[in-house]
Amino acid sequence: MNTPNNTEQAAVVTWLSRRAGVSREQSQTLPADIIELLASSPRQGLERLFTHLNRKRPAEGKLNMQARELSSAIESARSDIAQRIAKQTTTGWSERPEIEKEGRLDHLITDVEGSFLAFESRLRECANQTHMPSYLRPEELYSPFEAVRLNQSNGQRNMVRRRRQIASGETSSTIALGNPYQFFYDLQEGREQGGGNVEGAASFSPVMRIMSLPPKHDPQSVLRLLIQYHEMRHANQDASRRIAMMGNPAALQAYIDFHTGKGNEKPRIVVTEEASAYGYEMEALNVLLKDRLQNGTPSAAVVMKELGCKQEERPNVETLLHIARHYFPEGMNGGGFSQRFIDFMRDVHIDLGYDVFVPTTSGRLKQLTKTM
Ligand SMILES: [Zn+2]
């Protein structure tokens, strides 16, 4: 059996290969004291590592981010092994698959958060080289990343572990609900309901505030990252709705009923929320493409080359370009979405099998039907 010390070292080696471009073979040739320093003091360890490899030390912000990522990978490995040992001595190995799932999700969360925040850096770099539309507020554009960053201090964001802890009474199910911005990650089992989701892509459930992750994460796929960006916008919408409903339990209950769909067979969406999530997704894509989306849609081949997409992602790129043609050139000029785009969102989601609603001036939600 692994000793905890070996587990920490294994976590360091895995992290190095995934996030710092140091292969497993290369790790074996590193002096043992560097690996030990990385495990005990990630920040100093990284400094030493880069000196040792004769690599340029990353900028302060990036180095701090890497140190945080590494320390959370080590932390996960530690708690994983501690739980295995605890389970082994008390209940044998009967619950081992669940514990393994927790560990797997810990790693996935580290990967997903790390690649999403790296995606932010890429977006910001592109934004510096682009003439962004004047209506686009940077704090809005980057808000999904801010939300992920804030949630990194949520020690209970591994939903597999949280469910076990709630079941065993180790934690109360209500603790994390105090903060409307907190959310949780879960492993996606099979395909999520809701016909509009790309198979194997992240999806966010409002009310429960769970981001379900596909078991395989490709940190290089810009399309997956854009979907995550879109889903994080839903997480922020859900947080804003909850804040607006604080002190109004009846409104909160109506919101929960709306989304949990009591007596409704079809999944439901609010058209303005989807328009906003897709709208900002288009804006982010436009920034990545250095403004080319706004100025006449480029071909799928050009976009794929620019974003480094795989051949099999072509249908998804074409879908994005189709949406872009309904969103641009109007964008959010005038502070909102064009009626053309709202109508398009309505029809697309009805076709995908959703019940589609729109908020009325009284604050109620009215169901929409397709106009011919
Ligand atoms: Zn959506």
pLDDT digits (tens, 9 = 90+) for 29-50: 888 888 888 888 888 889 888 8
Q: Which of 94, 114, 134 is the last residue of a domain?
A: 94
CA distances from 100 to 49, 161, 362 (A): 30, 10, 49
Q: Provide the domain limits for residue 236.
A: 95-367
In tens, the pLDDT along 179-229 reads 788 999 999 875 444 333 455 688 999 888 999 998 777 888 999 999 999
Amino acid code (one letter) for 231: E
Q: Which of 67, 94, 121 is the last residue of a domain?
A: 94
160 and 205 assigned to the same domain: yes
The answer as to whether 318 is a domain residue is yes
The answer as to whether 372 is a domain residue is no
Residue 252: CB atoms within 10 A of its CB come to 16
How many structural domains are present in the chain? 2
Distance CA 259, CA 272 (A): 15
208 and 336 assigned to the same domain: yes
Query: What is the DSSP secondary structure assignment for residue 348, as one 8-state letter?
Result: H
112 and 152 assigned to the same domain: yes
How many angstroms does the Cα of residue 346 sit away from the middle of ligand 1? Answer: 12
239 and 358 assigned to the same domain: yes
Say how far residue 147 (Cα) sits from the centre of its chain.
10
How many angstroms does the Cα of residue 259 sit away from the middle of ligand 1? Answer: 13
Spans of the chain, pLDDT less than 70: 1-6, 80-96, 172-178, 190-200, 262-263, 372
Distance CA 278, CA 226 (A): 10
131 and 9 assigned to the same domain: no
How many angstroms does the Cα of residue 55 sit away from the middle of ligand 1? Answer: 41
Which pLDDT value is given to residue 41?
Answer: 86
How many angstroms does the Cα of residue 23 sit away from the middle of ligand 1? Answer: 37
How many angstroms does the Cα of residue 302 sit away from the middle of ligand 1? Answer: 26
Side-chain half-sphere CA neighbours of 319 within 13 A: 14
Q: Which of 60, 94, 128 is the last residue of a domain?
A: 94
CA angle 274, 151, 237 (to 5 degrees): 20
How many angstroms does the Cα of residue 320 sit away from the middle of ligand 1? Answer: 13
